[in-house]
Amino acid sequence: MSKITATFDRATEAVHNKLASYIPMSKASKITKMMVSALVVMTIAPMQVQAAAFISEAIDILGVVIIAIGGGLGIWGVVNLLEGYGNDNPGAKSQGIKQLMAGLGLILLGIFAIPELETLLPTA
């Protein structure tokens, strides 16, 4: 929030300096400027909380999607593996093992690595 506030303060100061060179500000316009600044800050603060909740939910959904893809790939690998053993086909066995291992890798990625993304992002 401090970066947003600092950026907003710099932008407000730049606008104020530009306006001051053209029109001298009255007391009423300074009060209006302060009220608008307060309104903007009160609007930005809840948006950061909503953004943090959205990112957290998106990371949870991403984890579920990665686990589902890994599960599907693992099941496909088991089917190819069984087909390879049933027909004595070494190519199907090899492909089945590769798919099964890739599926298990994706499942582990979804369980352990994806939730860690939340710790990399700054919180409100």
Residue 53 CA to residue 86 CA, distance in Å, equals: 50
Q: Cα 83 to the chain's mean position, in Å?
A: 40
pLDDT tens digits in sequence order for the chain, 124 residues long: 566 667 767 777 776 666 566 655 566 677 777 777 777 767 766 666 677 778 888 899 999 999 999 999 999 999 999 999 888 889 989 999 999 999 999 999 999 999 998 888 765 4
Tokens 């300074």 belong to 30
Label residues 63-72 b or e (16+ Cβ within 10 Å = b): beebbebbee
Query: In terms of DSSP H, where are the helices of the chain?
Result: 2-22, 27-86, 90-108, 117-120
The tokens describing 83, both together, are 């087909």
CA distance 46 to 10: 21
Q: Does the pTM exceed 0.85?
A: no
Give the contacts of 45 (CB within 8 A, at least 6 positions apart).
Answer: 1
Domain boundaries, the chain: 2-120
